[in-house]
Amino acid sequence: MKTAKYLFEKDYMADPAVHVFNDRLYIYPSHDRESGIPENDNGDHFDMNDYHVFSTSDIENEPLTDHGVVLKVSDIPWAGRQLWDNDVAFKDGRYYMYFPLKDKNDIFRIGVAVSDKPEGPFVPQPDPMKGSYSIDPAVFKDADGHFYMYFGGLWGGQLQRYKDNKALECACLPEGDQDALPARVARLSETMLDFAEEPRAVYIVDEAGKPLKAGRNDIRFFEASWMHVYNGTYYFTYSTGDTHQICYATGDNPYGPFTYKGVILTEVVGWTTHHSIVQFKGKWYLFHHDCVPSNGKTWLRSLKVVELEYEADGRIKTIQGSAKK
């Protein structure tokens, strides 16, 4: 499978977080719905009020099983609006769903919901994670058994409203030759319900070891963190946001710094790009979304998958996105 294919054309799903549990592949996407609000950079035009879970035992030949709604805004005691992308981790017989949601003050926090099955349903905790902010939680289990959460997104994701994990009176979005805003990472506690430490910056540097600059919109971090390990190397992958590419940087530990290496997926048709990378039945796959099926209608997004390939030196072969030049 070298050409990306659509996975679920009955509805608009986006931001796929994908994991293998019990030899079955599970997809945890966000759910796009039109809100009737005019389109803007904060994403207010998306009324994203629930999550579905999908699974399959054969991603290349078997249709996805839709397990239905597993969590919705009305289930969550502290909810305001907009369930954006989520991720799920497994520990000691329980599945933990991490989700960004605007609270009643329209501030994004990260919540946790728990299930005893990978397909849910998930029961939310009464409060968001203490000290959490912004969006795009992605949870990675390292070889030593520790779990790490990567998170953060600019613009509507509100990352520019924080510095050193404290809210700013006025948002600060770097420009030009200023250092780009980094994602955040924190090790999770043993309970999986909160941070075990203060979140740290995830620095992406060039080959000379200098942080990428904010003006490099084509390669700097914007949102959609993901982490995987290939041949002992840590691959931090992310979206460039307004330039609609998926890029990657490599390091030797979960905290980084990570050295920029290249583009995984070139520009897609749409308002955002967001992905996950997983190995399943001996192959590596890139899951992502674009807006081709909605034909530009408020940029409603659809799930896609394509096989991912590595060069002998560990570099990832670039995949052509749907916005072909």
Annotated active-site positions, please?
Answer: 15, 223
**Three-point CA angle 278, 311, 226, nearest 5°:** 30
Q: How far is CA 202 from CA 41, 151, 195, 297, in A?
A: 24, 10, 16, 35
Tokens of 280: 């399943």
Cis peptide bond prior to 174, omega within 30° of 0? no
- The SS3 call for residue 76 is coil
Q: How many CB atoms lie within 10 A of CB 208?
A: 6
Residue with tokens 């807006």: 291
Nearest to 54 by CA among 43, 42, 41, 68: 68
Asked whether 117 and 136 are in contact (CB, 8 A), the reply is: no
> What is the radius of gyration, based on Cα positions, of the chain?
18
Asked whether 248 and 237 are in contact (CB, 8 A), the reply is: yes
Nearest to 287 by CA among 270, 308, 272: 308
Q: Can you say whether residue 134 is alpha, beta or left, with left for phi > 0 and alpha for psi between -120 and 50 degrees?
A: left
Nearest to 238 by CA among 212, 215, 199, 207: 212
Q: Which amino acid is at 77?
A: P
Nearest to 54 by CA among 309, 305, 311: 305
Q: How far is CA 28 from CA 20, 222, 227, 275, 281, in A?
A: 11, 21, 16, 11, 19
